[in-house]
Amino acid sequence: MNATKDRRLDRRGVLLGLGVAALAPAAWAAGASSVVTVLGDSITAGLGLPARDALPAQLQAALERLGVRALVRGAGVSGDTTGGGLARVDFSVASDTNVCVVALGGNDLLQGADPGLTKANLRRIIEKLKARRIRVVLAGVRAPTLIGAAYAREFTNLFPALARETGAILQPDFVTGVIGVPRLMQRDGLHPNAAGARIVAERLAPSVAAALRVG
pLDDT tens-digit series, residues 135-165: 999 999 999 988 999 999 999 999 999 999 9
Assess whether pLDDT exceeds 60 at residue 59.
yes
Number of domains forming the structure of the chain = 1
pLDDT tens-digit series, residues 66-88: 999 999 999 999 999 999 999 99
Q: Name the pTM for this structure.
A: 0.84
- Give a yes or no: residue 150 inside a domain: yes
Confidence of residue 29 (pLDDT cuts 50, 70, 90): very low
- Give a yes or no: residue 61 inside a domain: yes
Confidence of residue 179 (pLDDT cuts 50, 70, 90): confident
Q: Which residues pair with 34 in a beta bridge?
A: 70
Q: Whole-number mean pLDDT of the chain?
A: 87
With the CA atoms of 188, 4, 127 and 91 taken in that order, what torsion angle do they form, in degrees rounded to the nearest 10?
Answer: -100
Domain that holds residue 57: 7-214
- Give a yes or no: residue 12 inside a domain: yes
- Give a yes or no: residue 109 inside a domain: yes
- Give a yes or no: residue 79 inside a domain: yes
Residue 103: closest CA among 131, 128, 75, 134: 75
Asked if residue 110 lies in contact with residue 84, where contact means CB atoms within 8 angstroms, the answer is no
Asked if residue 137 lies in contact with residue 99, where contact means CB atoms within 8 angstroms, the answer is yes
Q: Which residues are catalytic?
A: 42, 188, 191
- Give a yes or no: residue 1 inside a domain: no
State the CATH number of the domain containing residue 61. Answer: 3.40.50.1110
- Give a yes or no: residue 77 inside a domain: yes
CA distance 134 to 74: 16
- Give a yes or no: residue 2 inside a domain: no
Asked if residue 198 lies in contact with residue 57, where contact means CB atoms within 8 angstroms, the answer is no
